[in-house]
Structure 1
């Protein structure tokens, strides 16, 4: 799918959500801001050197001398190093915003691809008499694109705010990019706020494992039949830094995308990164600072996935025999 096709689909489903800023121009402006900052640094050094020469002992003390010293002092009082630091902060913000635009377009392109695929399947179902899938496919794609647009707006605001940061913080690294295929990013960590959290022991008891397996089985039954042959889900439970229990649902989609029919509890987080759902859950928890305890799936896990989970001391709960 070309960028133009992805933009067209995104605009049809969620008008105005597609970022229109020129990322290349933003990066160019950032470079210009840094170049200007470097010039100001050089000017500040030259002013300081000249001021030192004119105020050194033995220099002629006349009107011209006094005028030059006064002018240099006035220029030095303009805080050129501070202005240069602000320009560097502006460059950092422009680069961060440009990356946000690029990453959001990639994310929306993946969503548009999935939405287009679901729409085509819905057309096939409509031919055989089931027209409800058309509405569900469009609704799901619209919600995902709207959420991505909201995230883009929030991250763009963060990038813009950094331009006004004090000099002590202007050198901080910009926000972590949120790639469509990334294991986790700022939005991934933020999504954890919607996860289930309540008091729990560090260890996972037998009752927790029973609940986890039942939840995984119930979740898989909500997968629509047209995609049930290849679409997998898993459920993981972990412990947060304050001893709270966190529940995360994973799928094998390339990014978090709640498909029509797949039901989640209000306090469960959804994650996906193109890997097996169990590994997506593991990545999500590790990047969010949550200790993964157990992960369950109602469909067979790949042996490599099981090995990866066991290597991280995660209890593996497979389907019933």
Structure 2
């Protein structure tokens, strides 16, 4: 049985408008319910074809034992109609495959709609807080909040494009009908806010560092770290640090680890972790907690990002292990929305 698609939260008009202002044209306006219904109909049609095959087989079995050219021709004809290489069998398989792929696409769209709604809601809250800070003379808070929201929304949209491509070519032979919500988004081009990469030395690579790390765009890690940091309650945001790292396990699966500077892995109120995220923390710098966890599990460390600047000793440790460090320029004056990313003051 095909599982239901993820539930999406309500989308108020003001949240929809904010998404369009921060990430114009990136909202996936696809009818998820229609896609899910189509996937069900494909399964029902495949079941109807299977019943037809069974009826034809039963009709031939009722012939019983016999001999002669006519009997032989009927048996051969029946095998051509319902055998493994028959058109009916192929039709049933194609219907099942289409149903699984349509369902995977519906899941991807529903997940993107849910994530973009949540990101926009958090961004709206941060913009309201930024307005208060602006009244106190902090003109950069609005830039940071809008930039983080725009980057996160763009990352979700780019992730949807990747998942849609995967859904179109997924192998349904094993019956896998889902798309993992923990898949990491790939951001194309230079996304706002501005990100920079500090690569480790070219030699002396740590055996648990992914060899392809320098050839991939990991700017989405910085956006994710900044979004998580911004989601912390105000009373803790000043002293709790968040880092996000990516690694690859021995079987090639990507692993996402979220680190906190708390003395234990405490998911504070507001921290929106993905289903497959691993939360770690041991009181040290969150970057080190992430890296040490990945290495302890035998995963190759790909890259890491923190929402706030890492201390020099942490950067030294990461670069010594040739780990890509992605950072965010929180004061980048450029952005996708001139109204939101202005000087932080009302006209």
Unaligned runs of 5+ in 1: 179-184, 203-218, 258-270, 298-321
Structure 2 equivalent of residue 250 of structure 1: 259
Structure number with the higher helix fraction is 1
CA contact (8 A) 1:54 1:69 kept: no
Unaligned runs of 5+ in 2: 1-8, 188-196, 209-224, 261-267, 307-347
Structure 2 equivalent of residue 21 of structure 1: 30
CA contact (8 A) 2:244 2:258 kept: yes
After superposition, what is the alpha-carbon deviation per residue over 1:34-89, rounded to whole angstroms, capped at 9, x for unaligned? 11111111112223343555695258959xx98x8897576447421121112111
CA distance in 1, matches of 2:186, 2:139: 37
The structure whose Rg is larger is 1
Alignment length, in residue pairs? 243
CA contact (8 A) 2:247 2:294 kept: no
Shift of 1:233: 1.7
Structure 2 equivalent of residue 155 of structure 1: 163
Give the TM-score, by structure 2 length: 0.53
Structure 2 equivalent of residue 186 of structure 1: 183
Q: How do 1:182-261 residues align onto structure 2 when only pairs under 5 Å count?
A: 185-187=182-184, 199-200=205-206, 229-231=235-237, 232-234=240-242, 250=259, 254-255=271-272
Work out which structure has the larger RCO, using CA pairs closer than 8 Å and 6 or more positions apart in sequence.
2
CA distance in 1, matches of 2:256, 2:69: 78
* Residues 1:37 and 2:37 aligned together: no
After superposition, what is the alpha-carbon deviation per residue over 1:140-193, rounded to whole angstroms, capped at 9, x for unaligned? 21111001100011101111223xx4xxx4343134431xxxxxx222899xxx
After superposition, what is the alpha-carbon deviation per residue over 1:241-276, rounded to whole angstroms, capped at 9, x for unaligned? 67xxx996635663479xxxxxxxxxxxxx977886
Distance 1:152 1:80, change over 3 A: same
CA distance in 1, matches of 2:44, 2:75: 28
CA distance in 2, matches of 1:130, 1:57: 93
CA contact (8 A) 2:258 2:278 kept: no
Distance 1:273 1:149, change over 3 A: farther
CA distance in 2, matches of 1:291, 1:73: 52
Q: Which moved more, 1:44-53 or 1:23-32?
A: 44-53
CA contact (8 A) 1:122 1:133 kept: yes
